[in-house]
Amino acid sequence: MLVREVEAALAEDLGPDGLAGDLTASLVPAERVARATLLLKETAVVCGQAWFERAFSQLAPETRIHWQVSEGTRVPVAREPVVIATLEGPARAVLAAERSALNLLQTLSGTATETARWVARLEGTQSRILDTRKTLPGLRHGQKYAVRCGGGYNHRLALWDAVLIKENHIAACGSIAAAVARARELGAGRWVEVETENLDEVDQALEAGADVIMLDELAHADLIEAVRRIRGRAVSEASGGITPDTLVQVATTGVDYISVGALTKHLHAIDYSLRLD
């Protein structure tokens, strides 16, 4: 998936002709070698090194990148930018891959940094942060990886690796019990989760034998009661409308997981730049 994500990013810039598609880079002599420095301009969790490297090696395998920090490291930046890596390779390839490489690095670092902020708020509680499928189109694998880099956990990757029965599925199947029973028939051992919106639905999901019960936008008192009923019988997950200000309050209920779409869709792209020597 990493290779596909990088190839798609490069194709957006270069078109079907690959390196030859960069009209501006073609102004540079083919034999020219470039040396460059990668700078980080704001405090962040560095994430996406493999994607960054692949963007250059896809065009010129002989490109060499020397990282000054390890993947997943939180790097504080005060006044001056911090050197993250140095790079050497064919100038045309370096110039052609630069934007795609930076786009991937800044987005994945942004995801990891945002996740780390949410995870830090939960310190001292037993709840864990989960991502969702609300990812940028074409970059789900990378963003799911970045969530892990930031200390979070992954929900299902896609529609094929787990069953998540939501309101519309329940309506189409007729009941929570019918939907879970059908999931057991077809799921081939995959875990089954049911989204619930009230305590009655929580009881139905428990009776049906769901593995995970999502508690969607329950009032705080109901959330406390739902977690009490679920404990020891299934895994609990709080979801919907959770903000940084309400996160700790949700965690005090003892819920196992808290899923947050903002990790991957409300991120701030981290400020990097690549400067040729």
- Which of these is catalytic: 53, 216, 237, 256? 216
Whole-angstrom Cα distance, residue 45 to residue 69? Answer: 10
Selected catalytic residue, list 134, 148, 184, 229: 134
| 134 is known as an active-site residue | yes
Residues in the chain: 277
Full DSSP string of 163-183 = EEE-HHHHHHHSSHHHHHHHH
Alpha-helical runs (H) found in 187-255: 199-208, 220-230, 247-251
d(CA 102, CA 82): 15
Active site residue 195: yes
| Cβ–Cβ under 8 Å, residues 87 and 72 | no
Of 35, 166, 184, 190, the active-site residue reads 166
Question: How are the residues of the chain apportioned to helix, strand and coil, as percentages rounded to the nearest 5?
Answer: 45, 20, 35
99 catalytic per annotation? yes
* 121 within 8 A of 244, measured Cβ to Cβ: yes
Q: Which of 99, 148, 184, 265 is catalytic?
A: 99
The single residue of 5, 53, 114, 195 carrying the catalytic annotation is: 195
Known catalytic residue at 216: yes
Query: Is residue 166 flagged as an active site residue?
Result: yes
Q: Which residues are designated catalytic?
A: 99, 134, 166, 195, 216
